[in-house]
Each structure stands twice: as structure tokens, then as C-alpha cells.
Amino acid sequence: MGHSEQGPSDEIRVKKTDILKDFQLFFFSMSRLASFPWTFLENDLQSNKSSEFISDILKQTCLHSLCRRFPPSVRYRRLFLSELIRRQEAGGCDPLDELYDALAEVVGAEDTTECYKSYLLPCGDAVSLSENVALISEGTTGLVTWEAALYLAEWALDHQQAFSGRTVLELGSGVGLTGITICRSCSPDRFVFSDCHPSVLQKLRANVQLNGLTEQKSPRVSVEELDWTAATEEQFRQIGADAVIAAENAGISHHVITGPVSHVFPYNRLSSIEMIKLYR
């Protein structure tokens, strides 16, 4: 029985596809520019003397339909495009009109205090969130997505059976990344988002709606005002959760859940994050 083997050109094609995916992941989550795979781009420009790969990057980032609907911040797009232009010029390639057109679109645009970040799921969907540009705003840190929420979402994707068919309560949902990921990928019967800061609740409700989640269709979702430090047994009983999750320090007896998680989202993995199971 015959079999096919990949040649060098096939391997390069596969590598380019992976690199394009990385550019897309990093761009839509507004990762630090230094984390992008620039070395591969530089090598491609040097060897081919063509802007074709930059054109492909543009199509997967600034010119992608997701960017039209949920664009990263103006400043971020400006810096990203400027870096692409710098790399292209350093490679001695012919100018790419669509690259300069994309930059011209954001040069005159006004910066805002809010932006969209999109986190791509393994299934191909994207969780798009309205977030604040500043880490701390309106007296809270809850208007941005933190590494702990990304890690918890990755753990959930690896342990979907823990949520399937259940009523899940999330304490301190923030802007909604973990909960929306679970709703999209883990088939809960019902999911209750909660937080206690008024501005966070407003942003959370908007993001839940933005991602097409409602009380009327499966999974059924709701957003509740709940301060877990002051919540009563009756409040928890009314919610009737089978599982409770939180990406915060609750000060309750616990043990650490060890083991790696699949790397799905780009973020700083040097942060000290533990997955813990709480018990009474």
C-alpha cells in the first residue's frame, strides 16, 4: 500500500498556516506586540522578497470580518500596522497598498477608553468582549479579562464533562470570558453569571448579549448582582447551582488541582495561577 510523504514545500505551507493562526490569536486578544512570531515573517521576507505573507497576515487580522465587527483599540491597530510596515521596509519588499490603506484608516481615528478583544476557541468560534483599555477604571479591575479567567476557561475546555447538563454559578464573572466560553463549549443546562460592581454588571450584561446568550435558549443564562462575601444560604439555594466556579481568592478551605491545561488563549503564563477545588 502506497503512502504520501510531506515535502519541504508542504512543511513550509503548514508552518505558514500555523504562524498565520498565531498572528490572528495574538491580534484579536491584543497581546503584546513582542509576543508575535516576527522572526518567521522576517525570514520569509528575506528569502522571498515578497509582501505576499504580509498580505495574508492582513487578511487574518485588520481586514478580517471579525475586526470590522469587534475591532481592537485604535492605538493597538495603529502600532500593529506600523510594525508590519517597518518589517516590510526592512525586508526590502515592494510597498503593499492595502497595508498603507489600513494604516491610513486608523491614523486619524480617535482613541477611546473601550475596545473589543476576541478570544478564539478550538471549535472555531470567537468570544468577543467589550473591555476597558485601562487595567483599573471606575474604581475596579473587573472591566478587563485577567490571566486567571483565561486559565480557568482553558481548564473548563479540558473538563467539559464537569459542566455538561448542569446549573453553573460563576462568582465574580468580570467581563464574562470564562462563563461565555463554558456556555459555548461545555453544554451546561443553565449558567448564572454574577458580580457586585455596578459598572462590571453593566459591561457583563452587554457582553453576554453580544455573544448571543439569552434566558430563552439553551443554555439558559442570567446575570445576577451577587456579592459572594455577603451572600446568604437562601440566595444560593434559590439559584440551585450544581457547580460553582470563581477566578478569585475566596479564602475557603481548598486543595490544589494539579496537571497542565491545553494552551488555547495567548497570555502571560509566567503569572502565578493555581486551580483549586473548594470544600466546606
What pLDDT score does 8 carry? Answer: 61
- Is residue 277 scored above 70 in pLDDT? yes
Mean pLDDT of the chain: 89
- Of 63-67, 73-77, 207-211, 249-253, which gets the smallest average pLDDT? 249-253
pLDDT band at 6 (very low <50, low <70, confident <90, very high): low
CA pair distance 84, 31, nearest whole angstrom: 15
Give the start-to-end residue ranges of the domains of the chain.
8-112, 118-278
Q: pTM of the prediction?
A: 0.86
Q: For residue 129, which phi and psi values (nearest 5 degrees)?
A: -130, 140
Please say whether the beta carbons of 30 and 51 come within 8 A: no
Q: Which of 153, 75, 141 is nearest to 108 (CA)?
A: 75
pLDDT tens, position by position, 129-151: 999 987 655 555 567 898 999 99
Half-sphere exposure of 167 (CA within 13 A, CB side): 10
CA pair distance 96, 88, nearest whole angstrom: 9
What pLDDT score does 279 carry? Answer: 56
pLDDT tens, position by position, 156-173: 999 999 999 999 999 999
pLDDT band at 9 (very low <50, low <70, confident <90, very high): confident
CA pair distance 163, 177, nearest whole angstrom: 16
Q: Which of 24, 106, 37, 21 is nearest to 66 (CA)?
A: 24
pLDDT tens, position by position, 207-265: 999 999 998 888 999 999 998 888 888 888 899 999 999 876 544 445 677 778 899 99
Q: Which of 66, 63, 60 is nearest to 41 (CA)?
A: 60
CA pair distance 35, 26, nearest whole angstrom: 8
- Is residue 22 scored above 80 in pLDDT? yes
Tell which CATH classification among 3.30.160.250, 3.40.190.10, 3.40.50.150, 3.40.50.2300 matches the domain 118-278. 3.40.50.150
Mean pLDDT of 265-276: 81
What pLDDT score does 268 carry? Answer: 85
Mean pLDDT of 59-76: 96
What pLDDT score does 236 carry? Answer: 86
- Is residue 73 scored above 60 in pLDDT? yes
pLDDT tens, position by position, 97-114: 999 999 999 998 999 999
- Lookup result for grid cell 515573517: 41
Q: For residue 155, which phi and psi values (nearest 5 degrees)?
A: -60, -40
